[in-house]
Amino acid sequence: MTAKRHATVDWERDLAKGSGRVRFGSGALPEVGVSWASRTEEPAGKTSPEELLAAAHASCFSMALSAALARAGKPPEHLHVEATCTFDKVDSGWKVVKMEIRVQGKVPGFSAEEFGNFAKQAGESCPISQALRNNVPIQVEAHLA
């Protein structure tokens, strides 16, 4: 089964002074503004590709981790996942330089070490992590509630 998802952007003017509107094909999210300033300065109510990437990674990671825990016979009661995508200027220009994932879980019957191992595996196996692999360092920090 192949799944295709799409989004569109209408952009006006140049990079520095312009802006765009992102629309999500599913209709699940409202149309949102995007601009260069929202990437490199204050968001001012607009989003950025990096914020969208962080949301995608947090969602994907939570699914991978909850599935792995369930397969181990210890499904989580709750997972709180926060992903931070760092966008920075480097010698060759602007680049996503790091993705950090922090997860706090309520998983009865698991030790902190076991949970950390499962979180590390989810950080390597979720499809968004795989798309970033060998290009963006991914750090995973896990804690039990």
pLDDT (tens digit per residue) in 26-52? 999 999 999 999 999 999 999 999 999
In the numeric block, which tokens belong to residue 135?
């290009």
Backbone angles phi, psi at 125, to 5 degrees: -105, -20
Report all structural domains of the chain as residue ranges with CATH numbers, in order of start.
7-40 (no CATH), 49-144 (3.30.300.20)
pLDDT at 92: 86
Closest CA to 16 of 47, 39, 43: 39
Backbone angles phi, psi at 71, to 5 degrees: -65, -30
Distance in angstroms (rounded) separating the CA atoms of residues 55 and 96: 14
Maximum separation of any 2 CA atoms in the chain, in Å: 56
The model's pTM: 0.94
pLDDT (tens digit per residue) in 54-88? 999 999 999 999 999 999 999 999 999 999 999 99
